[in-house]
Amino acid sequence: MISNLDNFDLNLLSVVRTLVKYKSTKATALHLGISQASVSRNVRKINDVFGQNVFTRSAHGMEPSALAQKLASAADEMLVPLQLALGEFTEFDPASYDRSISIVIDPFILEEQAERLTKACSQAFPHSKLIFSTWDAQSIQAMKLGEFDYCITDQTVSLPQTIYQEKLYDEPNVIIARKHHPVLSHDHQLEDLLSLPMVSIPAPGLASDNTDYLDLYIDNGLEPNIVFETTNLRTASAYLSSSDAIMFGSPATAKNFTDLDIYTPSNISSNSSYQIYGGFLQSKRNHPLTQCINTMLKNEFKGKAMLFQ
């Protein structure tokens, strides 16, 4: 009996597996797309390799031995996962994909774009279980371990080279405050703006707000008067709606709250913006699921009027 598999023709396992199932050389030939004579030759090869009759011809067809049944079982364990993997790449259909899809998202982006993201993903993958998690200090390691299929962050998050990124969209950096703000709604001096109380909403994993507009205070020898700090947009909105405080952020934040408005004072010159990126493991760049998620989200935000515009 063979003891070294280095020279073993693994194609024979497919014949064993199919012959155990059908017990017929004719049915096996039809299933494998080869001639009946080829099946018979392969049976003789199998018997020679193992030094025994792995299959025995009888009145009921080709009877498998205990070894044949063991080989067929081993072939199933080896070949079925391979067929499933190949099927994912050659026949991927998001409409019928029924496995879980896990996406980790910057919590502010998730709050801002929740309606758009949930609608786009559920329509693209109607039979999948969607899992949306919020980005935190452990998310990079979880991404590297493959616990998430995709991530959505902004430019403040520095990712390792093992995670590939593509820009999904960007937004201008604006001032957010309550509607009919007593200062911003009228002509005012830069000093008036910089003296207003501020709400700070630090990016995930950062100790403080790193908005480019904060340079305004430094350039004018001032410290921002931060009167409220939170990591929740709804809480920040509640404070802004009932005070004269301002917050630096994106227009997408304001559009979710009817009591807020965006202001772009002429006395501030800034080309800064929030750049939103989709990311996934470099090792999965060619995986059909990853490609489908990335293409779907890029199309969702590209060439369409953003909700805040």
Amino acid at 56: T
Which tens digit of pLDDT belongs to each residue from 87-144?
A: 555 668 899 999 999 999 999 899 989 999 999 999 999 999 999 999 998 999 999 9
The secondary structure of residue 287, as a DSSP letter, is -
Residue range 174-271 in CATH 3.40.190.10: yes
- What confidence score (pLDDT) does residue 208 get? 46
- What confidence score (pLDDT) does residue 116 get? 92
Burial group, residue 42, by CB count within 10 angstroms (0-12, 13-18, 19+): buried
Amino acid at 116: R
- What confidence score (pLDDT) does residue 221 get? 85
Note if the pTM is more than 0.95: no
- What confidence score (pLDDT) does residue 58 get? 85
Query: Domain 94-171+274-301 falls in which CATH fold?
Result: D-Maltodextrin-Binding Protein; domain 2 (3.40.190)
Nearest Cα to Cα of residue 13 among 82, 84, 74: 74
- What confidence score (pLDDT) does residue 261 get? 94
pLDDT < 70 regions, the chain: 1-7, 79-80, 82-91, 204-213, 265-271, 303-309
Residue range 10-88 in CATH 2.160.10.10: no
Query: The tokens of 54 are what?
Result: 């792995």
Domain with CATH 3.40.190.10 in the chain: 94-171+274-301, 174-271
